Amino acid sequence: MKYKINETVLNIMEAGVENYNKSRPSLVFLHYFGGSSGAWTEVIEKLSNDYHCVAPELRGFGASDVLPEDFSVKDYADDVADLISTLTIENYVLIGHSMGGKFALALAARKPRGLQSLILLAPSPPTPEPIKEDEREKLLASHGNRCVATETVCQAAGGKLPGEIFARAIDDNLRTSEAAWKWWLEKGSREDISSEVGKINVPVLVAAGERDEAMTPQLLKAEIVRRIKNASLIVIPEVKHLLPLEAPEKIADLIRRHCENRADDQQSSEKNKLGESKFYDETGKRTINRKTAIG
């Protein structure tokens, strides 16, 4: 499905529509650099029976429109906020992987209405991402190069992806627009939003890959967990950087447990407030105006 968001057409993967605005939050997934909504396919398949899932392809990635020359992390966060508004999502958990994690942090710092919590998978930190300059130059020069794309995916996942998922990751890398590719490497990854993330007022779960050589547990603890009051860190064993592709079952279970624990905490809180032995919640019905969809 395609939606026009901020004068730009974004391609959206959506599943579990029957669960929209019911007792469980929607799950909004933001993909990694060089990825697409397809990066969440296996995770969403395991969650959509119980959760409404939305995975946009961010500007310049997948089948979404390219981005303008003058763009920022803030603008990507604007796109996500406007998509959530367009879909009339009333409560949601924001899940960001790598680059998508930085956009998720930027949006959460605004304390948006309806945001329940944040799950960050090997996220790009709010400070400038520590990419070695020779690696940055190599990546800048490699846009559209299948050999380099193959090498990059192999390194990021430790060479252990199933064939279909491996091929999809390479194709996503090659579909990335040149403008988005250069913007992230030259500007977006270098943006510093660390002064904003201390405003985040929802629980934040940060997951690191045990074997990730870029977004190490130590880096994520120093740059994210220590800056946010309600943040915690867990380490996923035996995986590197592409967590949703390498370990979709583990990631889906992590998301499910996080959401269920949050629901239990909220119910306990409401019981304490009301002094009642039972907790009741009202379920809403889906009210999306499908006229906003354009394909």
Q: pLDDT per position in the chain (295 positions), as tens?
A: 999 998 889 999 999 999 898 889 999 999 999 999 999 999 999 999 999 999 999 999 999 998 777 789 999 999 999 999 999 999 999 999 999 999 999 999 999 999 999 999 999 999 999 999 999 999 999 999 999 999 999 999 988 899 999 999 999 999 999 999 999 999 999 999 999 999 999 999 999 999 999 999 999 999 999 999 999 999 999 999 999 999 999 999 999 999 998 766 655 444 443 333 222 222 233 333 433 455 4
Enumerate residues 6+ apart whose C-beta is below 8 A from 197: 105, 108, 109, 126, 224, 227, 228
Q: Please answer whether residues 231 and 119 qualify as being in contact, where contact means their C-beta atoms are separated by less than 8 angstroms.
A: no
State the virtual CA torsion across 158, 159, 160, 166 in degrees, nearest 10: 120
Whose CA is closest to 33, among 158, 248, 190? 190
Phi-psi group of 33: left, alpha or beta (phi > 0 → left; psi -120 to 50 → alpha; rest → beta): beta
Helix (H, G, I), strand (E, B) or coil at 260: helix
- Give the CA distances from residue 125 to residues 77, 137, 214, 243, 270, in Å, rounded to whole numbers and listed in that order: 15, 20, 11, 16, 34
CA 168 from centre of chain: 18
Residue 231 pairs in a beta bridge with 204
SS3 254: helix
Residue 181: which H helix or E strand, with range? helix 178-186
Those residues whose C-beta lies under 8 Å from the C-beta of residue 28, and which sit 6 or more positions away, are 54, 55, 56, 80, 83, 84, 89, 92, 93, 94, 95
Q: Is 36 helix (H, G, I), strand (E, B) or coil?
A: coil
Rounded Cα distance, 86 and 205, in Å: 26
Q: Say which CATH number the domain at 283 has.
A: 3.40.50.1820
Residue-number span of the structural domain to which 239 is assigned: 2-292
pLDDT of residue 295: 46
CA distance 21 to 287: 9
Beta strands at 53-56 and 92-97: parallel, antiparallel or unpaired: unpaired
Contacts 24+ apart (CB under 8 A), 158-162: 158/211, 158/239, 158/240, 158/246, 160/246, 161/242, 161/245, 161/246
Q: Structural domain tally of the chain?
A: 1
Q: What is the pTM of this model?
A: 0.89
Which two tokens mark 47?
């969650």
